[in-house]
Structure 1
Amino acid sequence: MSIDTDREVSASPEPGAPASRGGAPRESHARAWKGPGWGFLVKLLLMMVVNALGVAAILTAYRAESWVILGVMVVGLLIADWIYFSRRTVPLKYLYPGLTFLAVFQIFTLFYTGYVAFTNYGTGHLGSQQQAVDAAMIQNEQRVEDSPSYPLAVVRDGDVLGFAITDEDGFVSVGTPEEPFEVVDGAVVAENGAAVEVPGWEVVPRADLFSDADLQAQVTSLRVPVSDDADDGSIRTREGSTGTIYISTLEWDPAAQTLTDTATGVVYSPTTAAAS
């Protein structure tokens, strides 16, 4: 019996590889460079976007010192690259996106909700006791009767509004809702005592206050603390030209841990809502 050695022996196809009509394995469109090669280019562009977003998330986690999230992002990005550039992970190419969304929006949410529920990491626990006391005292401020009125000018620095007041000695102090009053050198004062030029600040013209209703509402609701101590009160204005002192009706006793309403005599404590 003779054997025809001139006949070509075709190689056996790889497991899972699609076969062509002649029996030879056919290359996937996502890996083929034959023809225009659009499949591979589209996959490459998509993976470039995924890697760019992944690197951005990794850098953000690094700056925030969130090491767990950083580690998860690095591992997840490496797994994604391995899956979509490997020949042997065809099923995972379809499963991995769904598993990723499942982990982020279901599993992580479930465990994080449980973590927050059994810890004090809620919104009501983010502030300190002193911050809560200061907030209560600010909310109960009232104008002090017979308090002196200070010539006032409204100033701004970009989107930040503040007050510039002139004291009895002619010194000009500037403050904002976030920063208490501080004396400013080099300010120019008009005959009525109000500052017309303040270094580093733009003095808002009175005409703007009368013509801009929104600005006028912001100014009348503005509160500038006199000092870092909430007991010293704040300066407020009703018309944008004079400022008066507002003092809280609550008094804080740090030793007894109580707030006393001087107008009604009601005493508030952390454990008792109100006691006479």
Structure 2
Amino acid sequence: MSQFSQPPTAGAPPGETVPEPPGPASSKVRTAHAKEWNSPVGYAVKLALMALVNAFGVYLLWSAYTEGSWGIFTGSLILVVAANWVYFSRRTLPLKYIAPGLVFLIVFQLFTMVYTGYVAFTNYGTGHNATKAQAVDALLIQDERRAPESPSYPLTVLEADGELGFAIYDDGVARVGTAEEPLAEEPEATVTDERVTAVPGWEVVERARILSELQNEVVALRVPVSQEATDGSIRRTRTTVPPARSTPRCWTGIPMPTS
């Protein structure tokens, strides 16, 4: 009976064989670090924290976009994208520990120094936050005086959702405005004896309530005639009690620049 024998390997003693090296081990499939579910609790906590970071980042981005702060928008976008890349990548393990400190360093140290230098070498300040046109309008409104030839109109005081407004009847047209919105034509208004008596969406304030509750607010109310400050405004005459048999009167003030 013959027996199969393996030929001796070169360099091995006669009658002995050298075992073959083990074959290559089956390589383990590597998965993304963010998808490892070996610790569900830890992964869930990371997702919750990153959700908060992203929600705060989206809030900053939207606020910067609505305000037109493109520098803050760009910086916030870079930080949000970098945070997601650091904490959802397997290759950035060291950055996971130093990223929070780097963010605080950039925001509270580097940005502060750069912004301080920008303010120091520019004409930036609380007196320069508005545009030139806005500053001119504010000065004109502040120095507004009644023009000698300005007309007077029967004035109707309106209220809607806690906001006061004025209504006048001028050249056959009823006009309604507030402190924020200039006078605009209101075709649906009801006019009686050249005085506005009803406006859809508004409540006409009675004289008794004006005198008892809203006198200071009505006297202080200024309704612009148009978007241009130089066109003047509509205001109530500065009398404590309206004349008998008369509705409160108003006047158009023409801004008079001071010397």
Give the structure-1-normalised TM-score: 0.61
The equivalent residue for 2:221 is: 222
Is the Cα contact below 8 Å between 1:147 and 1:244 reproduced in 2? no
* Mapping of residues 61-72 of structure 1, within 5 Å: 69-72=72-75
Is the Cα contact below 8 Å between 2:154 and 2:250 reproduced in 1? no
Q: Pick from 155, 176, 179: which aligns with 1:177?
A: 179
**Aligned mates of 1:73, 1:245 — CA distance in 2:** 50
Q: Pick from 48, 52, 62: which aligns with 1:49?
A: 52
SS in 1 for 2:115: helix
Is the Cα contact below 8 Å between 1:189 and 1:195 reproduced in 2? yes
The equivalent residue for 1:245 is: 251
Gap change, CA 1:183 and 1:85, over 3 Å in 2: closer
Give the partner amino acid of 1:166: Y
Give the partner amino acid of 2:235: R
**Aligned mates of 1:249, 1:68 — CA distance in 2:** 38
Which structure is higher in helix share? 2
SS in 1 for 2:155: strand
SS in 2 for 1:164: strand
Is the Cα contact below 8 Å between 2:189 and 2:198 reproduced in 1? yes
Count of matched residue positions in the alignment of Structure 1 and Structure 2 = 218
**Aligned mates of 2:65, 2:227 — CA distance in 1:** 35
The equivalent residue for 2:196 is: 195
- Structure 1, unpaired ranges of 5+: 1-30, 251-258, 262-266, 268-276
Gap change, CA 1:105 and 1:208, over 3 Å in 2: farther
Q: 1:56, CA displacement in angstroms?
A: 4.6
Is the Cα contact below 8 Å between 1:188 and 1:197 reproduced in 2? yes
* Mapping of residues 229-268 of structure 1, within 5 Å: 229-237=228-236, 238=238, 241-248=247-254, 250=256, 259=257, 261=258, 267=259
SS in 2 for 1:96: helix
The equivalent residue for 1:19 is: none
Gap change, CA 1:242 and 1:78, over 3 Å in 2: closer
Residues 28-80 of structure 1 show CA distances to partners (whole Å, capped at 9, x for unaligned) of: xxx7736xx43332223212322333345456556667665555444433433
Q: 1:86, CA displacement in angstroms?
A: 5.2
CA RMSD of aligned residues (A): 3.7
Is the Cα contact below 8 Å between 2:234 and 2:250 reproduced in 1? yes
Q: Percent identity?
A: 51
| 2:166 is aligned with 1:163 | yes
**Aligned mates of 2:218, 2:167 — CA distance in 1:** 12
Q: 1:178, CA displacement in angstroms?
A: 3.6
Residues 147-180 of structure 1 show CA distances to partners (whole Å, capped at 9, x for unaligned) of: 654211112444543211234x554222223444
**Aligned mates of 1:32, 1:182 — CA distance in 2:** 64
Q: Pick from 25, 31, 38: which aligns with 1:33?
A: 38
- Structure 2, unpaired ranges of 5+: 1-35
**Aligned mates of 1:78, 1:127 — CA distance in 2:** 33
Residues 220-253 of structure 1 show CA distances to partners (whole Å, capped at 9, x for unaligned) of: 1011233455444322114684233253573xxx
| Structure exhibiting the larger radius of gyration computed from Cα positions | 2
The equivalent residue for 2:30 is: none
Q: 1:143, CA displacement in angstroms?
A: 4.0
| 2:104 is aligned with 1:101 | yes
Gap change, CA 1:156 and 1:58, over 3 Å in 2: same
The equivalent residue for 2:25 is: none
* Mapping of residues 85-96 of structure 1, within 5 Å: 85=88, 89-96=92-99
